Structure 1
Amino acid sequence: MHVGWIGTGLMGEPMARRLLGAGHRVTAHNRTAGRTGPLVELGASAAATVAEVKGEVVITMLPFPSEVMAEVLEGAAPGTVVVDCSTTAPALARTWAAQGQRRGVAVLDAPVSGGPAGAGAGTLSIMVGGDPAAFERVRPLLELMGSTVVHHGPPGSGQLAKLVNQTLVAGATLAACEAYALAVHGGLDVGRVRESVRPGVAGSPLLDYLWSRLAEGDLEPGFKLDHFTKDLGLIREAAGELPMPGTDRVAELAERVRAAHGGERGTQAMVRVADR
């Protein structure tokens, strides 16, 4: 299948690599042109502009897909399936699906969870909303990138499922960072604490990831604070009048850490929340 791919960053590049490895033809574009180089070395074609990205299926994996979606829909031929793997507002996903339908283009919202490691291993969780027939058409592609692929319902449903996921991630990230700080403050061997915690209900892949990075003093991103705070804003928007005091507090603290240490830092930088 010919796949157009837009966005070859921390997540997009390893995801597109999975499709190339399975023999699919990929035309890739990234705003920073050099970022498509590794995919080109594997056989992909590079597109200099969004308008040059063509395919039976066009997949976007971007921090802010609204910057390109209008151009994607304008350039897509009738019958194309556009799959947005970014995290956006459910209302925006519904708008794009309606716009696509008027042009004979199916638009699926299919955000992912699992981080760069999951993207490279093909073990992402992919949450899909949109037309069921279009979903079945692209399911084989999605299953190359994810070990869990679930269709949640009409347009916007995938994005809402992702925001539920991000609500859980938000609380767990802050808790993991505060727990790490407590262990260090008390003079414990963090490796031994993790050994004790891992088998119980508090253990998780997220805790393993955050603590291993913190133990190395590594604040480089698997998931950037800029994107974390963006998602927290989307959660608040989707919740509307629903009270979410815990998530609101995480959002407030994340903004403080981002302002102090930079949005390019990974979410493990939340350990710095007590910094003055």
Structure 2
Amino acid sequence: MVAFLGMGLLGANFVRAMIKKGMQVQVWNRTPAKATALEAEGAKAFADVADAVSGADYVHITLKDDASVNEVLEKAAKGLKPGAVIIDHTTTSAEGAIERTRQWKERGFTYLHAPVFMGPVNALESTGYMLVSGNQDVVGRLEPVLSKLTGRVLNFGPEEGRAAGMKLVGNLFLVAFTAGIADTLSLAKAMHIPLGDVATLFDAWNPGALLPARLQRVAGGKYDNPSWELNMARKDTQLFLDTAANAGAALAVIPAIAAEMDKWIARGHGGDDWTVIGKDSIPQ
């Protein structure tokens, strides 16, 4: 028996996929209508979260944050089956994941944080990526269970909270990437360049393919053989800013990048490769 708490877009599609695989699923949501809507598809909905987890060997969670996970699990505690496994797919802090792992172990339960890079379609189709870390005996025991729900399980080793941290790293990149796209489109708009021309450029020249090499360049620690000097990159960045300003367009992230470039130029790195601006960020 499986219980699932949190019937947002992701959770609801996880449940649909489980039902298609022949699982019996008990569901709960803070807004009951979202849970009862799944009864027509074979789930059993409960208004009380403790009742929803009763008899379940595995309790999956997709909620908002640390606070909501802590609150809902505490309310569910009295209904948990002895030895039940709690699998939390919520994006949370690493500290929260570590503390919950400890607390629920002390109470006789297994808690595994397994955040995902999966949208609703991935959850329905069991594709995408699920992240885990921590006690490797626990991970090994649960990996076959998790593998049924996703395309690939990425194991980041024995450190508790590492999966949570990796989820935040990935989400930060998505936020920065999307903000960069917004600035790109704002600059194109300022120059009256149609979206179709932007799409044509990126269909032919895919900068996403440069990511692995660019990551190595930033993290390599050697910037004295530039392919693009910081001074020249800063010159172009000023062109972005001036062009947008002249057209009354706002750029969200480029001003902060320009300021960072100025710091490194003032420190004498204007002739280095422009990726030197990431030097102080490299993990040791």
Structure 1 match to 2:3: 4
Residues 53 and 198 of structure 1: is their aligned pair in 2 closer, same or farther, counting only changes over 3 Å?
Answer: farther
Q: Mapping of 1:22-33 within 5 angstroms?
A: 22-33=21-32
Q: In structure 1, what is the Cα distance between the partners aligned to 2:2 and 2:204?
A: 41
Structure 1 match to 2:135: 131
**C-alpha deviation, 1:203, in angstroms:** 4.4
Structure 2 match to 1:234: none
Q: In structure 2, what is the Cα distance between the partners aligned to 1:197 and 1:106?
A: 46
Paired residue type of 1:98: R
**C-alpha deviation, 1:73, in angstroms:** 4.1
Structure 2 match to 1:70: 74
Contact preservation (8 Å) 2:6, 2:61 = yes
Structure 2 match to 1:166: 171
Identity among equivalent pairs (%): 28
Structure 2 match to 1:96: 100
**C-alpha deviation, 1:199, in angstroms:** 5.0
Structure 1 match to 2:146: 142
Give deviations 1:17-66, integer Å, cap 9, x for gaps: 11111111100000111102342111111011111122100000011323
- SS of match in other structure, 2:156: strand
Q: In structure 2, what is the Cα distance between the partners aligned to 1:33 and 1:84?
A: 20
Structure 2 match to 1:261: none
Structure 2 match to 1:210: none
Q: In structure 1, what is the Cα distance between the partners aligned to 2:78 and 2:101?
A: 13
Give 1 or 2 for the bigger CA radius of gyration. 2
Contact preservation (8 Å) 1:81, 1:134 = no
Paired residue type of 1:90: A
**C-alpha deviation, 1:193, in angstroms:** 1.7
Q: Which runs of 4+ in 1 moved over 3 A?
A: 72-75, 198-201
Structure 1 match to 2:185: 180
Supply the RMSD in Å over aligned alpha carbons. Answer: 2.4
The aligned length equals 207
Paired residue type of 1:62: L
Give deviations 1:127-184, integer Å, cap 9, x for gaps: 1123333333332332233212112233212101101111211211110111122223
**C-alpha deviation, 1:185, in angstroms:** 2.9
Structure 1 match to 2:35: 36
Contact preservation (8 Å) 1:4, 1:53 = yes
Structure 2 match to 1:13: 12
Paired residue type of 1:121: E
- SS of match in other structure, 1:77: coil
User: Which of structures 1 and 2 has the larger relative contact order (alpha carbons within 8 angstroms, sep 6+)?
Assistant: 1
* Structure 1 segments unaligned to the other structure (5+ residues): 205-244, 250-276
Q: In structure 2, what is the Cα distance between the partners aligned to 1:194 and 1:142?
A: 37
Pick aligned residue for 1:193 from 198, 213, 216: 198
1:46 paired with 2:50, answer: no
Paired residue type of 1:60: I
Structure 2 match to 1:119: 123
1:60 paired with 2:61, answer: yes
- SS of match in other structure, 1:4: strand
Residues 93 and 199 of structure 1: is their aligned pair in 2 closer, same or farther, counting only changes over 3 Å?
Answer: farther
Contact preservation (8 Å) 1:108, 1:155 = no
Q: In structure 2, what is the Cα distance between the partners aligned to 1:77 and 1:199?
A: 56
Structure 2-normalised TM-score? 0.66
Give deviations 1:95-142, integer Å, cap 9, x for gaps: 111111112211001111132232233222111123333333332332
Structure 1-normalised TM-score? 0.68
**C-alpha deviation, 1:70, in angstroms:** 2.2
Structure 2 match to 1:87: 91
